[in-house]
Structure 1
Amino acid sequence: MMETRDAALREMDLSRPAAARIYDSFLGGCHNFGVDRELAERLETDLPGIADSYQENRAFLRRAVEFMLAHDIRQFLDLGSGIPTIGQVHEVARRRTRDFRVVYVDNEPLTVAHSRPLLTREPNAAIIHADIRDPASVLRASQVRQLLDLSEPVGLLMSAVLHFVPDSDRPAELVEAYRDAVVPGSHLLIAHLTDSYDPAAMRTLADFYAESADPLHARSTSAIEKFLGDFEPIPPGPGLVATWRPEPGPRPAPRYEINYGAMTRKR
């Protein structure tokens, strides 16, 4: 496991866009500011239809959570969750059962401040202000220990977060630390931006996020697959997230092939 280090919690900064609020803006949420919407609007101008990529990623999360619920996973640790609104994990779980627990984790203070009121009426969910790059601190957090039982299978969710972790912060090691902390039968979801299919669109996206508090670090599909370790891929396996068990019926191909991911299970 990675050695413990002090969490690099961020200070509140309203002068620059933040990834969680940009995501919320593209999903049609209301927990964002003018600076976030302005970047989203400029990004949509340069990459028309890019909002579909955010919605596509959220749909993958929903389908994956529904799959886990159908396979008796009832507790979830959502790492780098952003703001839990517009189709978040507890909303998906609540449609199927009241027997669920969710802990969201984010290191952006305004994201956490916005999230807590949204969860006040949901006793089975909580958010903690922590840095996912310090797995030991996350796993020791009181809300994690109160809500989750790590001696039972858990759903680890890393949706649209690892591409904000630079190589210097050893993302492979931090994912390994979380994989090691869960028991067989646990599931791991990873959704990550890739430059393997559409490098021009990915460069444009990265240029915009360089203006934000959260620069992007897109990776190749082979680099992303290494994060899965020895977990067993759930068919159809790693690929563009839009192709993982899509809803029935015809649908257009992704305009920008930048969202790569997988659902896996610990044997």
Structure 2
Amino acid sequence: MVPGGRPQPSGFDPNVPNIARMYDYYLGGKDHYAADRARADEAIAADPTLVTLIRENRAFLGRAVRYLAEQGIDQFLDIGTGLPTQQNVHQIAQSVNPDARVAYVDYDGQVVAHGRALLADSPGTRMIEGDVRDPRQILENAEVRRLLDFGRPIALLLVATLHFIPDVDDPQGIMAELRDALPSGSHLVLTHASADGVPDVVAKVVEVYKRTNAPGTPRTREQVTALFGEFELLDPGLVWAPLWRPERSITVAEALPIWFYAGVGRRP
């Protein structure tokens, strides 16, 4: 068991809708099954902008990783990575710096097995099984320690991850332990679902996700900001995902249906 009493994954069941495979479906991937597609279609019916939301979340990840790589960050710890898809963190970071290193961590055994197969020929990367609710296990993992130097700045990525951690598992405590392990100059890249903008829509999607392997817990802007702790938010702060350093002109009204907060913080 892990904190909160949730059992570790124990085998593969294609009949249980899986959030990683649903995410892959939203992104147009091929790693999903009928149960995943059916539940994802229910979520899309609840919020017809959901596919756009997921793709905007992914686009934010790309912009943030590229920015950090251009600032000289060459180590990335991506927790809750999900199934590998196009334009993964290592591909973006290594397009800027071929020597960049990326440790991917996921709780889902299927995701880990699939990721290891796809990353077998990718230098500077590792796919590691670990649960964000047990941060010490991730931080002390031998593969993580071989790949990443915790004496130098690291980018910690938790993108569309923490809203799957219920309050009973103490997400603020989890984040404090992860942040404390990172040296000065490290960065935190985070997105999180919130009902602040469109509460009725978010509530409908949450109901759908209750019938998956990982129900969601949207949080307020104040709660999400607290996850950054002592890390200083870079401009433009914590905003709806499309508004974080967009590559095209976009208004707040256009961004509002994309109900993921996004931000990048730096440890002084």
Q: TM-score, normalised by structure 1?
A: 0.94
**Correspondence 1:75 to 2:75:** yes
2:185 corresponds to which residue? 185
Q: What residue in structure 1 maps to residue 140 of structure 2?
A: 140
* 1:94 CA drift (Å): 2.4
Distance 1:82 1:123 in 2: 19
Q: Percent identity?
A: 35
- How many correspondences in the alignment? 264
**Paired letter, 1:58:** R
C-alpha distance in 1, partners of 2:250/2:186? Answer: 32
Task: Give the 3-state SS of the residue equivalent to 1:189 in structure 2.
Answer: strand
Unaligned runs of 5+ in 2: none
User: C-alpha distance in 1, partners of 2:180/2:148?
Assistant: 16
Q: State the AA in 1 paired with 2:151.
A: S
1:36 aligns with 2:57: no
1:68-89: CA deviations, max 9, x gaps?
1011100100011111212220
Structure 2: how far apart are the matches of 1:22 and 1:7? 21
Q: How does 1:143-154 map to 2 (within 5 A)?
A: 143-154=143-154
The Cα of 1:24 is off from its aligned counterpart by: 0.8
CA separation of 1:116 and 1:206: change in aligned 2, threshold 3 A: same
- Pair 1:236–1:177, CA change in 2 (3 A): same
Three-state SS of the structure 2 residue aligned to 1:54 is helix
Q: Distance between the aligned counterparts of 1:237 and 1:8, measured in 2?
A: 36
**Aligned ranges 1:223-234 → 2 under 5 Å:** 223-234=223-234
Are the counterparts in 1 of residues 4 and 168 from structure 2 also a CA contact under 8 Å? no
Counterpart Cα distance in 2 of 1:5 and 1:28: 33
Instruction: Give the AA of the match of 1:225.
Output: T
- Between the aligned partners of 2:66 and 2:183, the Cα distance in structure 1 is 20
Q: Which residue is equivalent to 2:199? A: 199
Give 1:219's aligned residue.
Answer: 219
Identify the residue that residue 210 of structure 1 maps to in structure 2.
Answer: 210
Structure 1 residues 135, 93: CA separation in 2 closer, same or farther (over 3 Å shift)? same
Rounded to whole Å, the distance in 2 between the matches of 1:247 and 1:259 is: 18
What is the Cα deviation at residue 42 of structure 1?
2.3
Secondary structure at the aligned position of 2:254 is classed as: coil
Residue 188 of structure 1 and its aligned partner are, at CA, apart by: 0.2
Match of 1:263? Answer: 264
Q: Give the alignment's Cα RMSD to 1 decimal.
A: 1.8
CA 1:211–1:160 in structure 2 vs 1: closer, same or farther (change >3 Å)?
same
Q: Counterpart of 2:259 in structure 1: which amino acid?
A: I
* TM-score where L is the length of structure 2: 0.94
Contact in 2 for aligned 1:8/1:131 (Cα 8 Å): no
Following superposition, the deviation at residue 131 of structure 1 comes to 0.8
Cα deviation, 1:34-66, whole Å, max 9, x if unaligned, reads 211121222222321310000000001010001
For residues 151-200 of structure 1, the C-alpha deviation after alignment (integer angstroms, 9 at most, x for no partner) is 10000001000000010100001001110000000000110000111111
Mapped contact 1:31–1:114 kept (Cα < 8 A): no
Structure 1 position 30, deviation (Å): 1.2
Partner of 2:98: 98
Instruction: Tell me which residue corresponds to 2:117.
Output: 117
Q: Kindly state the Cα deviation for residue 255 of structure 1 after the two structures are TM-superposed.
A: 6.2
CA distance in 2, matches of 1:194, 1:141: 32
Change (3 A) 1:210 1:110: same
Q: Counterpart of 1:153 in structure 2: which amino acid? A: P
Q: Match of 1:160? A: 160
Deviation per CA, 1:98-141, whole angstroms, max 9, x where unpaired?
Answer: 11110111111111111111101102111111111111110111
